[in-house]
């Protein structure tokens, strides 16, 4: 496509502000804006108008159906398509779309996970239109972003708590701004830009790997002779097949109003990344879901498969999603930007220490927000942040905070110094320090980059948690400062005190090192290594109280989420165990036996020859293989018997612990022997594509 056509193409399939402004009567348009801004809900009459205009627009774009699009706790998005047709007269139809169909949909919630909420409430669930995220047309259907709740209004999805958290955040952030004398800002929105990593492999190798098909990750496979050691893939020239995929993906995303911006190769062979331009946490989450879906469908058109699993290949870098989080006002300011005026700088520091306090007090929730069976393989491995949460601020800010804590003047080393007048606070220089790539929560100039998020995670989860915990700290700050007689003194004292109490969460060193693990322990920081360790902390008293205070989640909603997440974890590990057994028996055993019998035949042939030929090679090989195959057989027996014992009616936490302690460790052992045998095998005897075949499957 020609570059000049891109602005024309951008957002063409989206019922966005521009379309609404053009097509809706002005009163109806204003009413929609008020609904989007959260001032008041849309009235029935205006909703009727919007539905009718939306339908006409969608039909022009080729839609015959509409669907409420929602994000149940399954991890993928859900849709159910209805056509616009309505019987009319005798055997005719007209295209209709009522106000009710736009605003509310009823669906049988009983097949979606509810984590026990269903036991006490009705099976019916309903979807409610979220006017803050634009409707769009895709594959002949009008997609209406919706929240998904139980009949009595309990959240059954990922969007509802996110919307609630944004409301809470806005309320508390406005209180802070008012304290600084700012009464112009009407709305504060947490924003996010999520950099999405993924693997792209050839469809033909994918189809031959049952583990990739069933589990999204390989359960076996020795590492290839050439991995990522040379770092020649990172930012390397993009192969033409990949480039064609990326081009089509960009165009499809642009049509849907997704601001796809940056694309490049990542560290591992066949790993890539796409970064969008940031927007509100809600829109960004929806757009990230669309991005992941399109990555898969566009890849398919190119005979490629897009892997979004956090760790598709052992000993090769996994995929994450860098969640760049910041705070915008409706006047376009970034509240995490050290401003140009003294007042702004003091305000910046207050928001900054609110994040520091939030991250320290809610380490458990942040860890939980990214907890999944897939991400457990990544967190703590050498290329990803460890499971310990800490914040990296950069040398300059670190120095400033230390000076504030001690009440000393800070002399900046940096040349680019910003003037600031609130005399008690030091100047804030523009940060000139390098990035710390190992930090799980790094300040990058005007935003925080949360790096623990897994590549397949719905970012609604980490973001509703970040919004919630920061909103809570802003509330605590506002409560205190609103009562102060001397604002400046109280502010200075508050910032100082917060730094003193929460500086343990700040860390600038190498997060991958063993020393940090020890140091973090000494500081009393949490180290929740797995999903099973993290999830039981979800419903701790402090968390329940915090979520309830801001109307983000009730205790029963938290409990239901814990159950669902644990159950997802168990299902995933159980399916992996079954798949591993299957592959072991159907692929690995026949391959290994085939190769051994080949060697034995060769040995016999040599014996028949009269014993003059050396058979050292064959003997050594067969000995090694036979030793390994014995260990492999025993490990496989244990995996099989442990998998048989697994009982899906056990309680979820017990079951999850069993999965981790037994199934995962059994699988690891089976794999260890299988991979060791693979290294001894002749290529032609292997029935499955190897890591080499998969990771280098896209050649041109
Ligand atoms: P990097 O050097 O980490 O690639 P970039 O500046 O390119 O940093 O930004 C990475 C991501 O951060 C992009 O998705 C971008 O849109 C997002 N981002 C930038 N500013 C903000 C902000 N104020 N709020 C949220 N996300 C942001
Ligand atoms: Mg980045």
pLDDT digits (tens, 9 = 90+) for 221-263: 998 776 665 556 666 788 999 999 999 999 999 999 999 888 8
C-alpha 86 chain-centroid distance: 40
191 lines ligand 1 (CB under 6 A): yes
The predicted pLDDT at position 416 comes to: 42
259 lines ligand 1 (CB under 6 A): no
Residue 590: pLDDT over 60: yes
Spatial CB neighbours of 334, under 8 Å, sequence gap ≥ 6:
326, 327, 328, 446, 447
| Cα separation, 656 vs 478, whole angstroms | 41
Residue 628: pLDDT over 90: yes
**What number does the ligand 1 atom closest to the CA of 325 have?**
25
pLDDT category at 190 given cuts 50, 70, 90 is: very high
| Cα separation, 257 vs 213, whole angstroms | 31
pLDDT category at 109 given cuts 50, 70, 90 is: confident
What the block records as the tokens of 633 is 């057989």
| C-beta of residue 380 within 8 angstroms of C-beta of residue 433 | no
Backbone φ, ψ for residue 324 (5° rounding): -85, 110
334 lines ligand 1 (CB under 6 A): yes
The predicted pLDDT at position 420 comes to: 38
Mean pLDDT for the stretch of residues 172-188: 96
The predicted pLDDT at position 434 comes to: 59
**Ligand 1, pocket-test mutation among 447, 450, 451, most atoms within 8 A of CB:** 447
Residue 75: pLDDT over 80: no
The predicted pLDDT at position 414 comes to: 41
Spatial CB neighbours of 321, under 8 Å, sequence gap ≥ 6:
194, 195, 196, 197, 288, 453, 454, 455, 457, 459
The predicted pLDDT at position 116 comes to: 73
**Ligand 1, pocket-test mutation among 261, 275, 276, 444, most atoms within 8 A of CB:** 275
**What number does the ligand 1 atom closest to the CA of 328 have?**
23
| C-beta of residue 156 within 8 angstroms of C-beta of residue 117 | yes
CB-count exposure of residue 266 (10 Å: 0-12, 13-18, 19+): buried
pLDDT category at 418 given cuts 50, 70, 90 is: very low
Beta strand segments in 544-694, E: none
The predicted pLDDT at position 425 comes to: 58
| C-beta of residue 18 within 8 angstroms of C-beta of residue 70 | no
Place of tokens 């100047």: 427
329 lines ligand 1 (CB under 6 A): no
Place of tokens 């209805």: 82
| Cα separation, 222 vs 534, whole angstroms | 30
Residue 90: pLDDT over 70: yes
Ligand 1 centroid to residue 641 C-alpha, Å = 49
**What number does the ligand 1 atom closest to the CA of 275 have?**
14
pLDDT category at 417 given cuts 50, 70, 90 is: very low
Residue 122: pLDDT over 70: no
Mean pLDDT for the stretch of residues 15-21: 95
Give the tens place of pLDDT for each residue, 535-549.
999 999 999 999 999
Backbone φ, ψ for residue 72 (5° rounding): -65, 175
Mean pLDDT for the stretch of residues 317-325: 95
The predicted pLDDT at position 561 comes to: 95
What the block records as the tokens of 569 is 């974890």
The predicted pLDDT at position 545 comes to: 98
| Cα separation, 169 vs 351, whole angstroms | 12
Q: How many CB atoms lie within 10 A of CB 120?
A: 12
Give the tens place of pLDDT for each residue, 660-675.
999 999 999 999 999 9
The predicted pLDDT at position 226 comes to: 63
| C-beta of residue 355 within 8 angstroms of C-beta of residue 448 | yes
- Greater confidence, 416 or 449? 449
pLDDT category at 423 given cuts 50, 70, 90 is: very low
Helix (H, G, I), strand (E, B) or coil at 442: strand
The predicted pLDDT at position 62 comes to: 95
For residue 196, give the ligand nearest its CA: 1
448 lines ligand 1 (CB under 6 A): no
Give the pTM: 0.94
**What number does the ligand 1 atom closest to the CA of 446 have?**
23
Spatial CB neighbours of 8, under 8 Å, sequence gap ≥ 6:
none
263 lines ligand 1 (CB under 6 A): no
For residue 328, give the ligand nearest its CA: 1
Beta bridge pairs of residue 137: 142
Residue 265: pLDDT over 90: no
pLDDT category at 622 given cuts 50, 70, 90 is: very high
| C-beta of residue 700 within 8 angstroms of C-beta of residue 241 | yes
Percent above pLDDT 70 for the chain: 93
For residue 262, give the ligand nearest its CA: 1
Q: How far is CA 85 from CA 59, 302, 463, in A?
A: 12, 34, 39
326 lines ligand 1 (CB under 6 A): yes
Residue 617: pLDDT over 70: yes
Residue 415: pLDDT over 90: no
Mean pLDDT for the stretch of residues 563-582: 97
The predicted pLDDT at position 233 comes to: 65
The predicted pLDDT at position 113 comes to: 77
Query: What is the chain's mean pLDDT, rounded?
Result: 91
Ligand 2 centroid to residue 286 C-alpha, Å = 20
Ligand 2 centroid to residue 275 C-alpha, Å = 9
| C-beta of residue 252 within 8 angstroms of C-beta of residue 287 | no
The predicted pLDDT at position 553 comes to: 97
Mean pLDDT for the stretch of residues 358-378: 97
Backbone φ, ψ for residue 124 (5° rounding): -65, 140
Ligand 2 centroid to residue 234 C-alpha, Å = 14
For residue 190, give the ligand nearest its CA: 1
Ligand 2 centroid to residue 423 C-alpha, Å = 34
| Cα separation, 372 vs 457, whole angstroms | 8
For residue 264, give the ligand nearest its CA: 1
- Greater confidence, 307 or 401? 307
The predicted pLDDT at position 104 comes to: 86
What the block records as the tokens of 502 is 């929460």
- Greater confidence, 184 or 6? 184
530 lines ligand 1 (CB under 6 A): no
- Greater confidence, 522 or 381? 522
Beta bridge pairs of residue 88: 92
Residue 161: pLDDT over 60: yes
């Amino acid at each position: 496509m020609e570059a000049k056509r891109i602005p024309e193409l951008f957002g063409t399939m989206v019922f966005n502000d521009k379309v609404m402004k053009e097509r809706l009567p002005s009163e109806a348009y204003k009413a929609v804006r008020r609904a989007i801004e959260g001032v008041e809900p849309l009235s029935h009459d205006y909703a009727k108008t919007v539905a009718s205009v939306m339908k006409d627009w969608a039909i022009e774009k080729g839609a015959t159906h509409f669907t409420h699009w929602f994000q149940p706790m399954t991890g993928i998005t859900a849709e159910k398509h209805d056509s616009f047709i309505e019987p009319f007269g005798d055997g005719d139809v007209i295209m209709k779309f009522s106000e009710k169909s736009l605003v509310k949909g009823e669906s049988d919630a009983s097949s979606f996970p509810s984590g026990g909420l269903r036991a006490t409430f009705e099976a019916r669930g309903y979807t409610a239109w979220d006017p803050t995220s634009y409707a769009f047309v895709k594959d002949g259907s009008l997609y209406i972003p919706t929240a998904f709740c139980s009949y009595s209004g309990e959240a059954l999805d990922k969007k509802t708590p996110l919307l609630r958290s944004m409301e809470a955040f806005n309320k508390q952030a406005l209180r802070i701004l008012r304290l600084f004398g700012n009464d112009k800002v009407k709305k504060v929105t947490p924003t996010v830009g999520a950099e999405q990593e993924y693997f792209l492999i050839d469809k033909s190798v994918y189809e031959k790997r049952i583990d990739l098909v069933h589990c999204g990750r390989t359960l076996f496979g020795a590492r290839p002779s050439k991995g990522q050691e040379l770092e020649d893939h990172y930012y390397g020239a993009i192969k033409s097949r990949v480039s064609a995929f990326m081009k089509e993906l960009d165009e499809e995303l642009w049509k849907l109003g997704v601001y796809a911006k940056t694309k490049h190769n990542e560290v591992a062979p066949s790993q890539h990344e796409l970064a969008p331009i940031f927007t509100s946490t809600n829109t960004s989450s929806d757009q990230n879901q669309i991005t992941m879906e399109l990555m898969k469908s566009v890849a398919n058109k190119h005979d490629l498969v897009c892997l979004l699993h956090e760790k598709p290949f052992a000993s090769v870098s996994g995929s994450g999603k860098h969640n760049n989080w910041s705070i915008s006002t409706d006047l376009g300011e970034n509240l995490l930007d050290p401003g140009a005026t003294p007042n702004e700088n003091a305000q910046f520091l207050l928001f900054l220490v609110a994040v520091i306090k939030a991250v320290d007090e809610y380490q458990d929730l942040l860890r939980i927000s990214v907890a999944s069976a897939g991400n457990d393989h990544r967190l703590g491995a050498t290329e990803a942040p460890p499971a310990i949460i800490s914040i990296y601020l950069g040398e300059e800010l670190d120095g400033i905070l230390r000076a504030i804590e001690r009440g000393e003047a800070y002399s900046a080393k940096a040349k680019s110094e910003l003037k600031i007048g609130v005399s008690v606070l030091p100047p804030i220089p523009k940060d000139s320090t390098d990035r710390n790539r190992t930090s799980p929560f790094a300040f990058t100039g005007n935003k925080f980059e949360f790096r623990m998020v897994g590549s397949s995670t719905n970012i609604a989860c980490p973001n509703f948690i970040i919004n919630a915990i920061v909103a809570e700290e802003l509330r605590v700050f506002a409560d205190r400062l609103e009562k102060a007689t001397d604002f400046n003194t109280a502010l200075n004292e508050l910032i100082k005190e917060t730094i003193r109490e929460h500086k343990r969460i700040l860390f600038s060193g190498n997060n991958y090192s063993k020393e940090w693990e020890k140091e973090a322990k000494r500081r009393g920081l949490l180290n929740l290594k797995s999903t099973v360790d993290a999830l039981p902390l979800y419903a701790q008293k402090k968390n329940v109280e915090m979520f309830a205070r801001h109307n983000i989640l009730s205790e029963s909603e938290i409990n239901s989420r814990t159950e669902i997440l644990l159950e997802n974890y168990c299902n995933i590990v159980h399916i992996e165990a079954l798949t591993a057994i299957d592959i072991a028996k159907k692929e690995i055993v026949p391959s290994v036996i085939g190769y051994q019998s080949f060697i034995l035949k060769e040995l016999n042939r040599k014996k028949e020859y009269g014993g003059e030929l050396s058979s050292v090679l064959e003997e050594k090989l067969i000995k090694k293989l036979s030793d390994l195959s014995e260990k492999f057989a025993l490990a496989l027996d244990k995996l099989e018997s442990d998998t048989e014992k697994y009982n899906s009616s056990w309680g979820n936490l017990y079951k999850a612990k069993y999965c981790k302690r037994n199934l995962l460790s059994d699988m690891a052992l089976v794999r260890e022997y299988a991979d060791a045998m693979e290294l001894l095998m002749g290529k032609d005897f292997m029935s499955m594509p190897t890591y080499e075949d998969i990771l280098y499957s896209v050649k041109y």
